[in-house]
């Protein structure tokens, strides 16, 4: 959980985001399987269960508000984080981790052009799950780079979700920088 490969995780998260916005759920699930396995190092049965929970949470969140189900998304993510905590012996509260996860989703949706608020929400999640200070500069860098990736992703969505757009490569590069900083903070 603390020794992930930033390049692999950044690439997989990019694939997940592209699939999410294009509503390609089988592709999203494949990326979620990779993310669950390579970010949290779960054994295969737990990886598959965790990826399914992440998929369901994202599907419940995906419709524009008020048609989405934030409570359902939080329940799925709480089950996901409980699985991670149990399998990895991680000392975090799964319900709080789920609340923080869906909170950054909310901040992103409601305040897409407020990178500072989004970075704060991401840093709070990282601090809780990895037990690192939210103010650690490496954690802040990880959060800022992930927020920058989301800005590129939002622009990509606004331009029509072309998978060949150079914005996808920019998003991937920012995510790799984000996960490089996060790994440095948590290793």
What would the two tokens of residue 117 be?
């608020």
Segment 128-180, tens digit of pLDDT? 999 999 999 999 999 999 999 999 999 999 999 999 999 999 999 999 999 99
Quick one: pLDDT at residue 112?
Answer: 78
Indicate if the pLDDT at residue 114 is higher than 90: no
Q: Give the distance, in angstroms, between the CA of residue 59 and the centroid of all CA atoms in the same chain.
A: 14
Taking the C-alpha atoms of residue 171 and residue 187, their distance in angstroms, rounded to an integer, is: 24
Taking the C-alpha atoms of residue 158 and residue 80, their distance in angstroms, rounded to an integer, is: 30
Segment 54-97, tens digit of pLDDT? 999 999 999 998 899 999 999 999 999 999 999 999 999 999 99
Each domain of the chain, given as residue ranges in start order, spans: 6-186
| Cβ–Cβ < 8 Å for 122, 147 | yes
Query: Kind and range of the H or E element at 161?
Result: none
Taking the C-alpha atoms of residue 46 and residue 43, their distance in angstroms, rounded to an integer, is: 6
Neighbours of 133 (CB within 10 A): 13
Segment 43-55, tens digit of pLDDT? 999 999 999 999 9
Q: Which of 116, 131, 184, 134 is nearest to 176 (CA)?
A: 184
DSSP helix/strand/coil, 49: helix
């Amino acid at each position: 959980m603390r020794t992930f490969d930033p390049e692999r995780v950044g690439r997989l998260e990019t694939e997940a985001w592209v699939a999410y916005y294009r509503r390609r759920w089988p592709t999203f699930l494949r990326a979620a399987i990779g993310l669950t396995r390579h970010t949290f190092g779960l054994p295969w049965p737990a990886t598959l269960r965790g990826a399914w929970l992440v998929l369901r949470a994202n599907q419940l969140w995906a419709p524009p508000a008020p048609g989405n189900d934030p409570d359902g998304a939080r329940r799925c993510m709480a089950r996901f984080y409980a699985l991670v905590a149990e399998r990895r012996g991680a000392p975090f509260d799964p319900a709080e981790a789920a609340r923080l996860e869906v909170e950054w989703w909310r901040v992103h949706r409601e305040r897409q052009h407020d990178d500072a608020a989004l970075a704060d929400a991401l840093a709070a999640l990282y601090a809780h799950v990895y037990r690192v200070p939210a103010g650690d500069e490496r954690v802040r860098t990880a959060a800022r780079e992930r927020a920058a990736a989301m800005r590129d992703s939002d622009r990509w969505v606004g331009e029509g979700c072309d998978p060949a757009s150079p914005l996808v490569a920019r998003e991937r590069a920012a995510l790799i920088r984000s996960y490089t900083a996060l790994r440095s903070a948590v290793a």
